[in-house]
Amino acid sequence: MTDFLLKENAGVWFGFFPRLEALGFTNAFTCRFHGESDLVPDNLNLALHVGDNAEKVLRNRKAVAGALGIDAGKLTACQQVHGDKIAVVDKEDIGAGRTDFSSAIADTDALITAEANVPLMLFFADCVPVVLADPLTGAVGIAHAGWRGSTLAIAAKTACKMAEVFGTDLTRLVAAIGPSIGPCCYEVDEKVFRQGREWESCFHPTTPGHWQLDLWQMNRLQLLAAGLKPENVLAANICTEHNRQLFFSYRAEKGRTGRLSAVILRKQ
């Protein structure tokens, strides 16, 4: 089975991991086509924090929810500050950040929940989205791993938090690494290398003081070190900068762009 497929439903294009779907987890990584936006006209920007027209963003979110058959009223988001704090989404947190950025869970870059039908939704343009699904307990997680989050091992910490809070068996947990900047396009400098040198094999020297960084591999190694099985770490292997017609790319568009949404939930 291919790890990752693209599909269209009700005019919304997205990628997803069929294996997660088969286990009962709706998951999606939205493409940029066919949306409403003042920031990137006609694009499907899903983030409220990038200076776009909020009403248009909310209509885009509604379109995505409709296409996925999920409840837009339960979309739950956090503020994504490139840290490593993980929030447990309980009943009272459901819908945080749904209609405004200020109500999104603050100072947090990863969410986990045991609630069914609660779409955890984070936003990305090159940073690595990692979704986690526990087939035994039905718990899910999502992490925002840019270079800072990746060097903080946020995806692996999120997996471990699921083990701690929900009793997730890490040898059964399935992780999926979504579209994001690939090693082909991601050159970094000494500052990043120093932060991440614990995973030196993910850095490939280019010119003096510069490396190509493989964030996908860094996240994979960290998840394996946490106890996940190699066959349970899936990857889209799609570079957002290479595929900027399909997905937003912060680097390719020099910071002025929208955000794709990554979504995971357990269907009841």
Give min distance, CB of 237 to Zn ion, in A. Answer: 10
What value does the CA radius of gyration of the chain take, rounded to a whole number of Å? 17
Contact characters 172-201, Zn ion, x per CB under 5 A: ----------x-xx----------------
Residue count at the site for Zn ion (CB under 5 A)?
6
**Up-side HSE of residue 138: CA atoms within 13 Å toward CB?**
10
> In the chain, at which residue ranges do the beta strands (DSSP E only) sit?
5-9, 12-16, 25-30, 86-88, 110-113, 120-124, 128-133, 140-145, 174-177, 187-189, 203-205, 210-213, 233-235, 260-266
Partner residues linked to 29 by β-bridges: 15, 262
Give min distance, CB of 139 to Zn ion, in A. Answer: 33
Give min distance, CB of 252 to Zn ion, in A. Answer: 9
Partner residues linked to 16 by β-bridges: 5
| Strand order across the 110-113 sheet | 86-88, 110-113, 140-145, 128-133, 174-177, 233-235
Q: Please tell me whether residue 54 binds Zn ion under the rule CB under 5 A.
A: no
Contact characters 200-239, Zn ion, x per CB under 5 A: ---------------------------------------x
Residue nearest to Zn ion (CB): 239
CB of 226 or CB of 252, closer to Zn ion: 252
Give min distance, CB of 198 to Zn ion, in A. Answer: 24
Tell me how far apart the alpha carbons of residues 138 and 129 are, in angstroms, rounded to a whole number. Answer: 19
Give min distance, CB of 186 to Zn ion, in A. Answer: 8
CB of 239 or CB of 263, closer to Zn ion: 239
Tell me how far apart the alpha carbons of residues 146 and 81 are, in angstroms, rounded to a whole number. Answer: 10
Closest-CA residue to 243 (of 178, 192, 188, 147): 178
CB of 109 or CB of 214, closer to Zn ion: 214
Of 49, 242, 251, 253, the one binding Zn ion (CB under 5 A) is 242
Give min distance, CB of 212 to Zn ion, in A. Answer: 10
CB of 82 or CB of 242, closer to Zn ion: 242
What residue ranges bind Zn ion (CB under 5 A)? 182, 184-185, 239, 241-242
